[in-house]
Chains A and B, each alone.
Chain A
Amino acid sequence: MPFNLLVLFCLCYVVMLFLVAFLAERRAAEGRIGWLRSPLIYTLSLSIYCTAWTFYGAVGYAARSGLEFVTIYLGPTLVFIGWWWVLRKLVRIGRQQRVTSIADLISSRFGKSNLLGVVVTLIAVVAATPYIALQLQSVTLSFAVFASGTPEGWALPNRDATAVWVAGGLALFTILFGTRNLDAKEQHHGVVLAIAVEAVVKLVALLAVGAFVVWGIGGGMAAVFARIEAASVPDWVIKPDRWFGMIAVSGAAVICLPRMFQVMVVEDGDERHMALASWAFPAYLMLMSLFIVPIAVIGLERMPEGSNPDMFVLTLPLAEGQAGLAMLAFLGGFSSATSMVIVESIALATMVSNHVVMPLWLRLAPQSAMTGDVRRIVLLARRLSIIAVLALGYVYYRMSGGSVALAAMGLIAFAGVAQVLPVLIGGIFWRGATKSGAVAGLAVGFCVWAFTLLLPFFGPDTVLSAAVFDHGLFGLGWLRPQALFGVTGMDPLVHSLFWSAALNTAAFCLVSLFTFPGPVERMQGAAFVNVFDADAAGPQGWARGRAEPEALLVMAQRILGEEAALSLFEGEARAQGKGGYLPDATPDFVAGLERRLAGSVGAATAHAMISQIVGRATVSVEDLMAVANETAQIMEYSAELEAQREELTRTAGALREANEKLKQLSVQKDAFLSQISHELRTPMTSIRAFSEILTEGDLPPEVVANYGRIIHDEAIRLTRLLDDLLDLSVLENGSVQLNIGLVNLQQLLDRALAAASHTRPERDFTVLRDLPAESLFLRTDGDRLVQVFINLISNARKYCDAAQPELKISVRQRSGRVMVDFVDNGSGIAKQSQGIIFEKFARLTDQSRAGGAGLGLAICREVMANLGGQVTYVPGRGGAAFRVTLPFRLEKRAA
Chain B
Amino acid sequence: MAKRRAPLFLKRKSYRLRRLRDAARLLPLVGGFLVLLPILWSPSGSSGADTAWDGIYLFVVWFGLVLVAAALAPGLVHDAPEGDGGDGEPR
* Chain B positions within 8 Å of A78 at CB level: 28, 31-32, 35
* Chain B positions within 8 Å of A235 at CB level: 47-49
Contact between chains at B59 and A286 (CB < 8 Å) = yes
Interface string of B21-39 (1 = CB under 8 A from A): 1001101110110011011
Shortest A301–chain B CB gap in Å is: 14
The number of chain A residues with a CB under 8 A from chain B is 43
A234 to B54, CA, bound (A): 13
> Which residue in A66, A84, A237, A275 is a CB contact (below 8 Å) of B21?
A84
A342 to B87, CA, bound (A): 42
A74-B35, A81-B65 known; A237+B48 contact, CB < 8 A: yes
Contact between chains at B48 and A236 (CB < 8 Å) = yes
Contact between chains at B69 and A293 (CB < 8 Å) = no
A232 to B52, CA, bound (A): 11
Instruction: Identify which of residues 33-73 in chain B touch chain A, using a CB-to-CB cut-off of 8 Å.
Output: 35-36, 38-39, 42, 44-55, 58-59, 62-63, 65-70, 73
Interface string of A63-83 (1 = CB under 8 A from B): 000110010001001111111
A237 to B74, CA, bound (A): 39
Contact between chains at A282 and B66 (CB < 8 Å) = yes
Residue from A81, A231, A234, A534 having most chain B Cβ neighbours under 10 A: A81
A79-B28, A238-B38, A282-B66 known; A84+B76 contact, CB < 8 A: yes
Residue of B nearest to A280 (CB): B70
* A35 close to B (CB within 8 Å): no
A67-B58, A282-B69 known; A82+B48 contact, CB < 8 A: no
> Which residue in A244, A271, A275 is a CB contact (below 8 Å) of B36?
A244
Shortest A174–chain B CB gap in Å is: 33
Residue of B nearest to A66 (CB): B51
Shortest A242–chain B CB gap in Å is: 10
A85-B25, A282-B62 known; A276+B73 contact, CB < 8 A: yes
Contact between chains at A228 and B51 (CB < 8 Å) = yes
Contact between chains at A77 and B62 (CB < 8 Å) = yes
Contact between chains at A85 and B28 (CB < 8 Å) = yes
Contact between chains at B52 and A228 (CB < 8 Å) = yes
A235 to B25, CA, bound (A): 36
Instruction: Identify which of residues 271-308 in chain A touch chain B, using a CB-to-CB cut-off of 8 Å.
Output: 271-272, 275-276, 278-280, 282-283, 286, 290, 293
* Chain A positions within 8 Å of B48 at CB level: 66, 234-237
Shortest B3–chain A CB gap in Å is: 20
* A533 close to B (CB within 8 Å): yes
* B77 close to A (CB within 8 Å): yes
Residue of A nearest to B32 (CB): A78
Contact between chains at A228 and B62 (CB < 8 Å) = no
* B1 close to A (CB within 8 Å): no
* B89 close to A (CB within 8 Å): no
Interface string of A558-588 (1 = CB under 8 A from B): 0000000000000000000000000000000
* A458 close to B (CB within 8 Å): no
* Chain B positions within 8 Å of A293 at CB level: 51, 55
* Chain B positions within 8 Å of A85 at CB level: 25, 28
Contact between chains at B28 and A81 (CB < 8 Å) = yes
A238 to B58, CA, bound (A): 13
Contact between chains at A271 and B59 (CB < 8 Å) = no
A78-B32, A532-B83 known; A228+B55 contact, CB < 8 A: yes
Contact between chains at B77 and A286 (CB < 8 Å) = no
B contact patch SS: helix
Contact between chains at B84 and A532 (CB < 8 Å) = yes
Residue of A nearest to B25 (CB): A84
* Chain A positions within 8 Å of B46 at CB level: 237
* Chain B positions within 8 Å of A283 at CB level: 66, 70
* A225 close to B (CB within 8 Å): yes
Shortest A458–chain B CB gap in Å is: 30
* Chain A positions within 8 Å of B39 at CB level: 238, 240, 243-244
A243-B39, A282-B65 known; A237+B44 contact, CB < 8 A: yes
* A247 close to B (CB within 8 Å): yes
* B6 close to A (CB within 8 Å): no
* Chain B positions within 8 Å of A286 at CB level: 59, 62-63, 66
* Chain A positions within 8 Å of B84 at CB level: 532-533
A70 to B63, CA, bound (A): 13
Residue of A nearest to B74 (CB): A275
Residue of A nearest to B20 (CB): A84
A678 to B62, CA, bound (A): 92
> Which residue in B31, B54, B73, B77 is a CB contact (below 8 Å) of A236?
B54
* A229 close to B (CB within 8 Å): yes
Contact between chains at B55 and A67 (CB < 8 Å) = yes
A293 to B66, CA, bound (A): 21
Shortest A115–chain B CB gap in Å is: 31
A476 to B29, CA, bound (A): 41
Residue from B36, B46, B51, B65 having most chain A Cβ neighbours under 10 A: B51
A532 to B35, CA, bound (A): 31
> Which residue in B32, B52, B73 is a CB contact (below 8 Å) of A229?
B52
Contact between chains at A234 and B73 (CB < 8 Å) = no
A81-B31, A84-B24, A286-B59 known; A238+B49 contact, CB < 8 A: no
Shortest A653–chain B CB gap in Å is: 32
A239 to B38, CA, bound (A): 10
Shortest B32–chain A CB gap in Å is: 6
Contact between chains at A239 and B77 (CB < 8 Å) = no
Contact between chains at B32 and A81 (CB < 8 Å) = no
A77-B62, A228-B51, A278-B73 known; A82+B28 contact, CB < 8 A: yes
A161 to B15, CA, bound (A): 63
Contact between chains at A243 and B55 (CB < 8 Å) = no
A161 to B62, CA, bound (A): 42
A519 to B29, CA, bound (A): 37
Shortest A88–chain B CB gap in Å is: 9
* Chain B positions within 8 Å of A282 at CB level: 62, 65-66, 69
* B2 close to A (CB within 8 Å): no
Interface string of A368-409 (1 = CB under 8 A from B): 000000000000000000000000000000000000000000
Residue of B nearest to A71 (CB): B35
Contact between chains at A81 and B51 (CB < 8 Å) = no
* B8 close to A (CB within 8 Å): no
> Which residue in A83, A243, A279, A534 is a CB contact (below 8 Å) of B82?
A534
Contact between chains at B73 and A74 (CB < 8 Å) = no
Residue of B nearest to A534 (CB): B82
16 pairs of residues in contact across A and B, judged by CB atoms under 8 Å = A66-B48, A67-B55, A74-B35, A74-B58, A77-B66, A80-B69, A81-B28, A82-B29, A84-B24, A229-B51, A234-B48, A240-B39, A243-B38, A271-B80, A293-B55, A533-B84
Which B positions have Cβ atoms within 8 angstroms of A?
21, 24-25, 27-29, 31-32, 35-36, 38-39, 42, 44-55, 58-59, 62-63, 65-70, 73-74, 76-77, 80, 82-84
New A-B pairs, 11, CB < 8 Å, besides A67-B51, A237-B48, A282-B66: A66-B48, A82-B25, A82-B31, A84-B21, A237-B44, A238-B42, A243-B36, A271-B77, A279-B67, A282-B62, A534-B82
9 A-B pairs closest in CB distance? A82-B28, A279-B69, A235-B48, A279-B70, A236-B48, A84-B24, A275-B73, A81-B69, A228-B52
Which A positions have Cβ atoms within 8 angstroms of B?
66-67, 70, 74, 77-85, 225, 228-229, 231-232, 234-240, 243-244, 247, 271-272, 275-276, 278-280, 282-283, 286, 290, 293, 532-534
